[in-house]
A = this chain, B = another copy of it.
Amino acid sequence: MFELNQLEQLLYVHKYGTISKAAEELHLSQSALSRSIQKLESDLQVSLFSRQKNKMELNKNGKLAVDLAAKLLDQAHSMTAQLRSFDRSQRTISLGFCAPAPLWTIPAIFSDIYPEMTISSEIKNTDTLLQGLGEELFHMIVLPCKIESDEFICTKYVEEHLYFSLPPAHPLSSRKTLHFRDLNGETMLLRSKLGFWHDIHETTMPDTHFLIQEESFAFDELVKLSALPSFTSNLVMQREGIPPNRITIPIMDKEANVTYYCLYKTKNEKMLKGFLQRLKM
């Protein structure tokens, strides 16, 4: 039987026209490549070149062989790619999130419990998450609401409560509580467009213009230096501390106070066992 090695060499000879150039490209001596091609012909029991002492040219067999070799090598490369991808997929846990906050903690927990696994995390909107869970693109997703279904298991994770973050000079900064509508119409800073929070802001504060700053450090600077209102939450403050020179006032709307739930297929319960036990502690 011939070997893939030889087919690759054949393709090089075809690509570069002569044994000499192909050998150079392959980092081989001319003689070595010449012999290797001869061996391929003898393995196939078919002559692939017309030889005239000084010149080699693919004959009809050779041209057919080049086509077939290209296909075979293609399939071989696809085989390794497929295997590596499959192997990788077995070593990765794919998580989907509706918001940034749970993403700050959950992937770290998984890495802790399954140190040899790759943890893949994405933020998507709720519909995409549910569809992805159905298609097994995610092993687990985190939603801002409970889902009752036979297909899935739903476990409470954590609550997030939204706050307005106001400069002390703001007319509403002395209030103990606020609602979305109280600031509707003002210009606000927003850390990112990602997640379901953005949808909630669009519906509960339709007249507000949001200055969106994707980059985290730049956002913090803007909050510090500008007089614009922005949002924060119990989880943000737990992670980053209370913002300096800002008044934080809880938002009382029910949409501003969510509970995150972990959702996963029954078949993945065993795989997620370690994580679920950690949740109970």
Asked whether, in the complex, the Cβ of B83 is within 8 Å of the Cβ of A64, the reply is yes
Q: In whole Å, how far is A126's beta carbon from the nearest beta carbon of chain B?
A: 32
CB <8 Å contact, B46 and A83:
yes
**A residues 4-52 with Cβ under 8 Å of B?**
4-5, 8, 44-47
A2 contacts chain B at the CB level, 8 A cutoff: yes
How many A residues, CB 8 Å from partner?
Answer: 28
B87 contacts A46, C-beta separation under 8 Å: yes
7 cross-chain pairs, A with B, having the tightest CB-CB distances, nearest first? A46-B87, A68-B79, A3-B3, A46-B83, A61-B87, A64-B86, A44-B83
> Interface digits, A63-74 against B, CB 8 Å rule (1 contact, 0 not)?
011001101100
CB distance from A26 to the nearest CB of B (A): 13
- The smallest beta-carbon distance between A277 and chain B, in angstroms, is 25
Contact of A76 among B1, B47, B90 (CB under 8 A): B1
Chain B residues closer than 8 Å to A64, beta-carbon distance: 82-83, 86
Query: A80: CB under 8 A from chain B?
Result: yes
List the B side residues contacting A75 at CB < 8 Å. 71-72, 75
Q: In the complex, which residue of chain B has the Cβ closest to the Cβ of A88? A: B46
Partner of A8 from the list B1, B71, B87 (CB cut-off 8 Å) is: B1
A86 in complex: contacting residue of B8, B60, B83, B87, CB < 8 Å: B60
Q: 27 A-B residue contacts at CB 8 Å?
A: A1-B5, A1-B8, A1-B76, A1-B80, A2-B76, A3-B3, A3-B4, A3-B5, A4-B4, A44-B83, A44-B84, A45-B80, A45-B84, A46-B83, A46-B84, A46-B87, A60-B86, A60-B90, A61-B83, A61-B87, A65-B83, A68-B79, A68-B82, A68-B83, A71-B75, A72-B76, A72-B79
- Interchain nearest-CB distance for A165 vs B (Å): 49
Q: How many Å from the CB of A66 to the closest CB on chain B?
A: 11
Separation of A75 and B65 alpha carbons in the complex (Å): 13
